[in-house]
Structures are given as C-alpha cells and as structure tokens.
Structure 1
C-alpha cells in the first residue's frame, strides 16, 4: 500500500527552534506534511487531534521529555501504531535499551545526517503502512470469524430443530445434544416404525464444521422420511444401504459411525447393528446383572464399499435401561490427565446407573462427566440417548 508523500503527516517535536526548522525544511522538501510541536505536552495534544503517520521527537526537552512522550503515545490505543523515532545525542547501548523499553521504534543520532533522516523516515513509513495492512487483514479475519461463528450457531440450531423430543409410553426415551463451538457431525433420532417396532439410532460424522454436519443431516432425512430403499426393520440392511450410498471419496474423505437399533415391544427384543460406533450400554432394573456392551460389528459407513454388517439381538428385561452415545462424551482432552477413554466412561456410567432412571438422569450424568473431566471445555459435539423399557 504505497502512499504519496503529500498523504503522510509527520509530527516534529523539538524545543530547539533552529534544529526544528532545519528538519522541517528537509521533510517538506520531500513533499511530506509536517506539524511542529515545541513541547511534549503540545505534541500529545496535536497527535490526539490529528494522528500522524510518524513522530520525530527529541529525547532531551524541558518539561515532558521524549521518553515520556513516547510512553504516552504508545499507551494510547488510537496512537500506538504511530511510528516513533527518538532524536538523541546519546550513543550508549544502555540508553537505547531504555528508549526501546519505552516503545521507541527507531533512533536518529544528533546532529542528524540529512540522508539518514530521510532514509529512516521512509523506513518508518513503510513499517507503518505494513502495520496498517496487517490491521486491516486482522479486522477482516475477525469479521469473517464472527460471520462463521454466527453461521455455525444457526446450523447448530437447525440440527437441534431436527432432533426428536422426549417419548413416553411402552418405551421412555430422552436425549441430549450439545454441539461444540465448531459444530460436529452428531445426529440421532427415534420413532415408531409401526405399532410394534421402535427405531433408535445415533450417527457421528468425522470432522467438524458444516461439512461434517451435512452427511448426518442427509442420513437423518433419509431415515426419517423412510426414503431409503430398504427395510428399516433390519439394522444390518440399513447400514449396508447407507454405506453403499455414502462413500468417503465422494464426500471429501468423510465417513460416519452409526449405531442403529430396532426394539420389538411384543417380544421385548432389541435387534441392532453398528458401523464402527461406540457400543451401546444396557442394564437391568434390579442392578444385579452387569452392564452389557452392545458392540455390533462392521466398519464405519463410507470407508469400504464392500463392508459387511451383522444384525444382532438382545433380550430386554422389564425395566431395562439403554444408553447410546457419541465418543465426544468421553474423548475429552484434559490438561492434567490423558484423554478420556471408553473404559473410564463405562465405569462412570456404572456408578450412575441408579441416577439415570430419574427424570433428570441425563443431566445428572453429564454433570458427573463434566466434574470428572475437571470442567474442561468439550472440543467435539456430544450426544446421548437414554431409553427405559417399562
């Protein structure tokens, strides 16, 4: 960003009127606009009224000296980008260190050499203009980030609007969805396919941002609208059909993990399949039996076109509780401990089995998880579904 000399304003601060006139003549001879101040106090007043591009200031002056002027200029947010050159007859390194500590950008030794004066001024103007460019760039990046944050917040609200509400009846289902700052790829749903079959699934697309949210939203729409050309009662066939239509080379290298289950109320049987997703957890009401891990077998959707999936079955006891979740719930980066892992999370769920049956069970579980992680900020979306089978 080159500017003509006429657009450059230089404030010359010196209580020696003869020396000031000599420097003024040199600078005006190059076309610069020059303002004169014969004291530190008047220099600050002029600078605040009309911020200059560059200040040339004598170190030794009566009243406010050059160091005090420099310090005041650099502490003023409206003036701190102004290039400040101290004029001094001092040549010791210690003196220059003091000047630099006060915020001076450069030095000119007195008596001032005319050629060096102009060279230092040109250099200072270039640095000032470079700083202005960087500031404009920073402002633009800040503005873009604000727009992106707003778009991500709106996208998170949209994803949240797609998610199901609490269900009560022969199956009692509640859920929570907490998007990360960048928004991730979590999506889930649960609904009755017919009078006897209840579907539950949770998907998690790799990555963050809108690009991760789109695949999950697409999957959600296909399943909710029942437009997928496959029997939704068969978990393995559902995963196979989704994998066939979603290959990572066509989606910027993204893939999805997915747990899909169908509960038949008449037989109290849960049929499920998994595509690389963390295992669902289920336990009985009496608490006498250990928690079962409903792992399923199969690679994440989108990794391999010929991936195979297997439907497995699990008998559901009266009053059993099921937990389906995304890995963002336990893969938390902690400053004072290794990243959270699945076994640690399962142990915490074991401790909360009774709490999870309460109406606010999910909230209490999430509070326990947050406390266990030292209240660190979660870096990924996390979602969880709790189903109770009365």
Structure 2
C-alpha cells in the first residue's frame, strides 16, 4: 500500500448513504487490510473467502458494493460477477474486480461479465477510496432515480385511478345524455321527424329533440351550447327539461288552455329560454337555437333562428336553399328579441336542421366544409332513403371527407323533418 489507512481516515468518512460493502478474497491478509480501510471510511463491511460464500451473502444481504478478487479457487471473480448479476435484488449493485491483469483483453472480459470498475493489485489506498467514491456516486444516482421512478409510478397509479373514476362517471353521463334523445325517429301521420346526435367526446353540448301536443302539430329543435364537455352537457340537460317531450306541463314550448296543450310561437319560446338562461347566476354559457313548429295538415311552418346555422330546405322538386337571417344566441343578452319566420311545406319537402359541427368540420385539405360543402353532401345522399338512414349516410360522408388525424373537433347533430312523405 502506498498510503496508510490512518492517513486516509484523517480525510474524514466518505459522504455516502450506501453503507454495505462485500469484500471477497481468498487471502486473509488482503481481506483484513481492505476491511480496516472500509470500516474507517464509514462502511459496514462483509467479507467472504470464496465465490460460493460470497454468493450466499449476496442472496441474503444484498451488498451495495462488491470488491472481489479475480483469481480465486472454485468460482473465480468473473463467474462470481456473472452469477451476482443474475441474483434478484431491488437496486443496482456496484461491482469492482481486483486483479493483477491490466491487458485490454482482460478488461473486456471483466466488463462483459458485468464488472463496473477495476483495481490493480497491489491495491493503492487512495485509488481504492476514489473508486469507492465513484461507485457510491453511481449508486446514489441510481437509487435517487429509482425513488423518483417509484414516486412517478405511484403518482401515475393514483392518476389512473382518478382517470378510471372520471371515465366511469363520463360514461354514465353519456348514457344519461343519450337518454335525452330517447328515440331517433318519430312518425306523425304521413310526416316523419328524425334525429342525429354525435358528441365529439364522452358528452357534448349539442341537443336535438321533438314533441307533439296533438296529432296535427309538432315542435322540433336543434341546440348547440357554447363550449364543450361536461359544462355544456349540464346545460343541455337543463334545456332538455325546459323542452321535455315526456312532461308537457314542464315544457316551456307548450301552454295549457282549458286542459288542452298547444304550441307557443317559436319566438316566444326563444324569449322564455333566454330569460331562464340569462338570469341564471350559475350559467355563463349561451346557446344557439333553431326551433320550429309545424301544422301537419296545412304544411304551415314557423321557425325562430337564434344564432344557429341556417336550416336547409329541400323541396320535392329538387330546389335547395338555406333559410333564416341569423339572430342573437339564447342566454347572451338579457333583453334579446327574436323574430319568427313562416314557411309553407309542400308534400315531399324536407327541412334539415344541423349544428356547426357539420359546416365547421376540418377537411383533409385543411379547409372547412361550409354550407356549400354540406349541400354537396346532402345531394350525394339522395332523397330516397328514410330519415335515420339519410342522417347516418350524411354523417358517414362527412367523416370520409374529414382530416383523419383530426377527427371530430366539435359535436355533430342534425334533425330532419320530412313533410307528408309517407303517402308519396
């Protein structure tokens, strides 16, 4: 040794949190010298005289650092190192080979066996201390990284549990929202009303619906609440209650006179809905609305447009045009006023209500579908299929034109009124 253990001990203990070192050597003198130095540097020292004994200690006690002689009877240092690496353990073990071999080929064999470092015999105390310090730094970083990984894994597990709970709630919310549209098609005499609702997430802010107070009249609506997700879905659930088809006494669009329900004028319905939403302190969202009433005998239709995309009138003779003049959204301004618009439906005519999830859909070339694009999709669908099939075909054609890496960025909904089509 070129420096005494006492002189090195004066430098103070090694700053390590890893304390257990195994020294393996068939020389009792070498074991004694290395043990004394390591203990003075603050380590707990284990020792073994051969590879078999060392493997038993490693299996039971998992030392942090191993100092092993290369040349030993029975299991030599290389084989011991290989078996050491095969042992199950929680963390990494740093392995230093003590050898008189300095050739590059010998070093390569040691590295291939799994050794981390080498010390040439006779061991220099200062060099040993430096190699031990290097090993403890490596192990400290490895343990710190393992601890951080453990914390990350635990955090991810907690987040996964939270996500699973939220996902389950959202799936239930989706089922509840789907229940707001209990049927996709309603037949009213010779006329038919069909609905389509495709949220872009678990739940969405679009809503379509229909109701009929008697055999001669229907009301239908298409709604798009601002924003997306849970908040918008809660607003649609509230509005669905205001326009309930199951509980006419709670439906703002119906008024009861002498025990008989009748449809309010669409502009009056928009006004009532605006009052409800604009004066509700818990709601900051607004919604667009297209609502119409229709007399199934005369074909007289009256509608109100409140910021919603203009409906598409499809005449039986092939004429197609967009209707409406815009209007203010519902719930945006307290004193908003709304105007109705009249239309006469002829036998075989259809009226398509839709949300901007159609017209603002992003296509493969980066553009938006727009009204002309929607008209092209409608015309490609033809007019022979019934309402639900037509709407499904329309949605399928929209998906075929959309950018595949984008998908639905907004809720998509539609309602199709087919007047006097069943007798044609």
- Normalising by structure 2, what TM-score? 0.69
Q: How big is the alpha-carbon RMSD for the aligned residues of Structure 1 and Structure 2?
A: 3.7
Match of 1:318 among 347, 368, 377: 347
Q: In the alignment, which residue of structure 2 is the partner of 1:263?
A: 294
Q: How far apart, CA to CA, are the structure 2 residues paired with 1:356 and 1:384?
A: 16
Q: In the alignment, which residue of structure 2 is the partner of 1:45?
A: 86
Alignment of 1:1-390 (within 5 A): 28-29=43-44, 34=63, 39=80, 41-47=82-88, 50-52=89-91, 54-57=92-95, 66=111, 86-87=116-117, 112-115=130-133, 117-165=135-183, 166-168=185-187, 169-224=189-244, 225-226=247-248, 227-228=250-251, 231=255, 232-247=263-278, 250-251=281-282, 253-287=284-318, 289=319, 291-334=320-363, 336-354=365-383, 357=386, 360-375=389-404, 377-390=407-420
Alpha-carbon spacing, 1:298–1:131, altered in 2? closer, same or farther (3 Å): same
Contact 1:11 1:56 in 2 (8 A): no
Q: How far apart, CA to CA, are the structure 2 residues paired with 1:339 and 1:248?
A: 35
Q: Which has the larger radius of gyration?
A: 2
Contact 2:22 2:63 in 1 (8 A): no
Q: How far apart, CA to CA, are the structure 2 residues paired with 1:177 and 1:200?
A: 14
Alpha-carbon spacing, 1:63–1:87, altered in 2? closer, same or farther (3 Å): closer
Q: How far apart, CA to CA, are the structure 1 residues paired with 2:142 and 2:25?
A: 23
Q: How far apart, CA to CA, are the structure 1 residues paired with 2:389 and 2:117?
A: 71
Deviation, structure 1 residue 160? 1.0
Deviation, structure 1 residue 33? 5.9
Deviation, structure 1 residue 66? 4.8
Q: How far apart, CA to CA, are the structure 2 residues paired with 1:357 and 1:35?
A: 75
Deviation, structure 1 residue 142? 2.2
Q: How far apart, CA to CA, are the structure 2 residues paired with 1:258 and 1:11?
A: 74
Q: Helix, strand or coil for the counterpart of 1:193?
A: strand
Alpha-carbon spacing, 1:293–1:265, altered in 2? closer, same or farther (3 Å): same
Contact 1:10 1:33 in 2 (8 A): no
Q: Helix, strand or coil for the counterpart of 1:112?
A: helix
Deviation, structure 1 residue 238? 0.8
Bigger Cα displacement from structure 2, 116-125 vs 126-135: 116-125
Give a deviation string over 1:184-207, Cα, whole Å, max 9, x none. 111121121223220000112122
Q: In the alignment, which residue of structure 2 is the partner of 1:77?
A: none
Q: How far apart, CA to CA, are the structure 2 residues paired with 1:348 and 1:14?
A: 80
Give a deviation string over 1:111-143, Cα, whole Å, max 9, x none. 735555445544443332222212221222222
- Normalising by structure 1, what TM-score? 0.74
* Residue ranges of structure 2 left out of the alignment (5+ in a row): 1-16, 46-60, 67-76, 98-103, 120-126, 256-262
Q: How far apart, CA to CA, are the structure 1 residues paired with 2:140 and 2:298?
A: 86
Contact 2:308 2:329 in 1 (8 A): yes
Q: How far apart, CA to CA, are the structure 2 residues paired with 1:12 and 1:182?
A: 56
Deviation, structure 1 residue 164? 3.8
* Residue ranges of structure 1 left out of the alignment (5+ in a row): 1-7, 71-85, 90-108
